[in-house]
Amino acid sequence: MTDLTELGVAAIRDGVAKGDFTAVEVAEAFNANVAAAQAALNAFIVATPEKAIAAAKATDAKRAKGEALGKMGGVPIGMKDLFATKGVQTTAASHILEGFTPEYESTVSQKLWDAGAGMLGKLNLDQFAMGSSNETSYFGNVISPWRRKDGGNAALAPGGSSGGSSAAVSARLAPAATGTDTGGSIRQPAAFVGISGIKPTYGRCSRWGIVAFASSLDQAGPMARDVRDCAIMLEAMAGFDPKDSTSLDMPVPAWEAGLSGDMKGKKVGIPREYRMDGMDADVAASWDAGIAWLKDAGAEIVDISLPHTKYALPAYYIIAPAEASSNLARYDGVRYGLRDLPDGAGLQDMYAATRAAGFGAEVKRRS
């Protein structure tokens, strides 16, 4: 039999639907990979093999009855530990939320379960999604499954903040995973390990039930082996949610059906500011190769200017820390999570002690 863990979302979905293999067989194969690689990669904070098997059994039962299996029918996935999952610890990779078990499900995760997906576990990340190398997690660094091309054995970063997601998909621990992107936290880790990731238009995926970093920038998105798999997953994740005031009330397009390699009639703008002096030769070569691929597909390449890009990072560092400080204010030791209450301490002392003990250095820096 084909190694099921080498299959992506589309291949698993279609194979289960046709009866080439069962959803339970798929879940068992990925559960085994998760367990075998945890010590080496630290991609998961919590593994939930029983959740993956339960969802797989439900999918196989539906197929036996001739019922529709859903867009993600039979596909087990990893869930970034920023999404609230009912009955399963949700920590945002922070000590301050260690042991917190939500009594509710995030909208995105619920949509994926409704579409037939199962959960392999909660994936590691930079604490509160603050970081770009997955080195700020309270639960330890995530390690990339890739190794240096010069033969060196030094551990490599899988990018961040969705480093657990990128490492899990790249290492064949999951065919796909959820990520969140505030300033690149899906796109950068996907690039680091050679998979695909999409930050959708703001509002396409509900933010309800996602631990907030910067509310006007955060967006959930898919991470998978290729663009088709991301399109399938995004169709399942997206949609209007009345519980999120910024949710887009628009129909979800059939992205998978619309995939095509034909770019004829399309114009692609290439910002001249991105081709900067001193660009690394390998990066420049990749840039040129991408332009050549677009031309070969029939696209018209147009030289454009984005003169205000120099303000992007300063603007980010005004908006993101300000919103993070507001969002982090809810972690005070009163209602849930860690409480540090020194003898004789007052309320303000408890706030300060709890945050000092619960937040990591990067979270303190950004807030």
DSSP, collapsed to helix, strand or coil, labels residue 197 as strand
pLDDT in tens, 249-280: 999 999 999 998 899 999 999 998 887 778 89
Give the end-to-end CA distance of the chain in Å, rounded to a whole number. 51
List residues with catalytic annotation.
Answer: 80, 161, 185
Taking CA atoms, 128 is separated from 97, 109, 171, 187, 236, in Å, by: 10, 18, 24, 17, 25
Lookup result for tokens 């887009």: 248
- Domains for the chain: give ranges and CATH numbers: 4-237 (3.90.1300.10)
pLDDT, residue 279, reads: 87
108's tokens: 């995105």
296's tokens: 């070969």
41's tokens: 């990669």
Tell the burial category of 18 from Cβ atoms under 10 Å away from its Cβ (0-12, 13-18, 19+). exposed
Cα 79 to Cα 96: distance, rounded to the nearest angstrom: 20
Q: Report phi then psi at 172, rounded to 5.
A: 65, 30
Please check whether residue 259 is in contact with residue 134, taking contact to mean a CB–CB distance below 8 angstroms: no
Please check whether residue 43 is in contact with residue 140, taking contact to mean a CB–CB distance below 8 angstroms: no
Tell the burial category of 348 from Cβ atoms under 10 Å away from its Cβ (0-12, 13-18, 19+). exposed
pLDDT in tens, 198-228: 999 999 999 999 999 999 999 999 999 999 9
pLDDT, residue 168, reads: 98
- List beta partners, residue 224: 176, 196
pLDDT, residue 120, reads: 98
pLDDT in tens, 60-89: 999 999 999 999 999 999 999 999 999 999
Tell the burial category of 219 from Cβ atoms under 10 Å away from its Cβ (0-12, 13-18, 19+). buried
Residue ranges of alpha helices (H) inside the chain are 9-18, 23-41, 49-65, 107-114, 163-170, 187-193, 227-237, 281-296, 312-328, 347-358, 361-366
Task: Return the H-helix or E-strand segment holding 77.
Answer: strand 76-80
Mean pLDDT of 152-179: 96
pLDDT for 1 beyond 70: no
